[in-house]
Amino acid sequence: MTENRTRRRILYAAAISGVVHATVIAVGDADVGQTAEDLPPLAVRIVEIAPAVTTRPGPVPPQPRVAKSVNVARAPGMMPARPLPTQPSQTEPEPEELAVADEPATAEPGVAPRPEPVVVATAPSSTLATDAPALPAFPKSGRITYSLVYGRDRFPVGRTIQSWKIEGTRYQLASRSETTGVADLIRSQHRTYLSRGELTSEGLRPETFLMSRNRGRGAEEARATFRWAEGTVTLGGAANQHDEPLPRGSQDLVSFMYQLAIDPPGPGPKQATVTNGSRIETYALQVFPEEKIETPLGVLRVLPISQGRTPGRETVDVWLAVEYRYLPVRIRFFGRDGEPTGEQIVTEIRLSDD
């Protein structure tokens, strides 16, 4: 009797198992113990498929004429100095700053394109012969940006921007140096020079020179007024002006460097009379043969010019880029003890004849 009861239980279990397997095969696998709240939400993503575009052959529409931008020499990896705005700008550019776009612009229909700017190129031969009536060939406007470094490790402490503009026979030169980054937080300094005058067959002839600087000890200002007809120059600040004789060919601190670019000197000893607004002095210069130096713009051929060291006076050395119209691309400053106090090295050059 016990065997019959056991046999019936086995048959009953087999029947139930068969029903369950048949249900799984017909409906699919399911976790009977999972409720509707336990199931994950259904995720649906709708993707729109763009219809295929059929191109019909036809005439090619005329392309608009595009005005080329100014040629710029810039250190690799630098961001553009003036990125194009997304909206029309309502701000007028500063007088000494070039209004130059970094990208090509489309010319308006019916408007004649502006003449293309002069490409940065090798400087022409000097035109400063005394019998040459023509003006020296030089870009009508330009801007040079320098990185200001300090010490043997060439730690960046600031920047300098020099710019110029020539209208007819009148010129204006500007130089602005300022500390940046950590150096500006520790001891903010700035220095501004402005030179105005006439461009003659002999080069730059300054008429006024302004100097303003703050080296952390208060503002310092000086002014030089050149009176060529009288042969004198008025120097000093507002409270202590005085007159001194004005030798022919005298320059100020800014025009001096660009006069070298207009009329590159030959090798050997030279002299130049220069004023810083407070006094006028004669520089004993030594012009060395061409060499090559490493700069952020690459390896450049340069003409090195060194000012003789004078005890108790600040001096300067200049390197003129032969392939960039003899523009100053490296300037090293020396203190009154003859030790270097800083250096500015070119990072960007912009030139235009517009």
Q: What is the pLDDT of residue 89?
A: 41
Residues 254/195, Cβ–Cβ less than 8 Å: yes
Residue at 147 is within a domain: yes
CB neighbour list of residue 134: distance below 8 Å, 6 or more residues apart: 127, 201
Residue at 238 is within a domain: yes
Residue at 16 is within a domain: no
- Express each pLDDT in 267-316 by its tens digit: 999 999 999 999 999 999 999 999 999 999 999 999 999 998 888 888 89
Return the residue matching tokens 């700053």.
97
Q: How much is the pTM?
A: 0.63
CB neighbour list of residue 141: distance below 8 Å, 6 or more residues apart: 98, 163, 164, 165, 166, 351, 352, 353, 354
Closest CA relative to residue 199, chosen from 233, 168, 164: 168
Q: What is the pLDDT of residue 15?
A: 46
State mean pLDDT over 182-203.
89
Task: Provide the number of structural domains found in the chain.
Answer: 1
Extract the tokens encoding 271. 């002299």
Residue at 279 is within a domain: yes
Per-residue DSSP letter, 13: H
Residue at 101 is within a domain: no
- Express each pLDDT in 102-148 by its tens digit: 333 444 455 455 444 443 433 344 333 334 335 557 899 999 999 99
CA end-to-end span of the chain: 120
Residue at 105 is within a domain: no
Rounded to whole angstroms, the Cα distance separating 342 from 158 reads: 10
Give the strand pairing for 268-275 and 251-252: parallel
- Averaged pLDDT score across all residues of the chain: 73
Residue at 194 is within a domain: yes
Domain assignment of residue 320, given as a range: 124-352
Residue at 95 is within a domain: no
- Express each pLDDT in 207-236 by its tens digit: 999 999 887 677 889 999 999 999 999 999
CA 251 to chain CA mean position, Å:
27
- The domain that contains 220 carries what CATH number? 2.50.20
Per DSSP (E only), the strands in the chain are 66-67, 72-74, 105-106, 141-150, 155-167, 170-179, 190-200, 203-214, 219-227, 232-235, 242-245, 251-252, 268-275, 280-287, 291-295, 298-307, 315-321, 327-334, 340-352
CB neighbour list of residue 337: distance below 8 Å, 6 or more residues apart: none
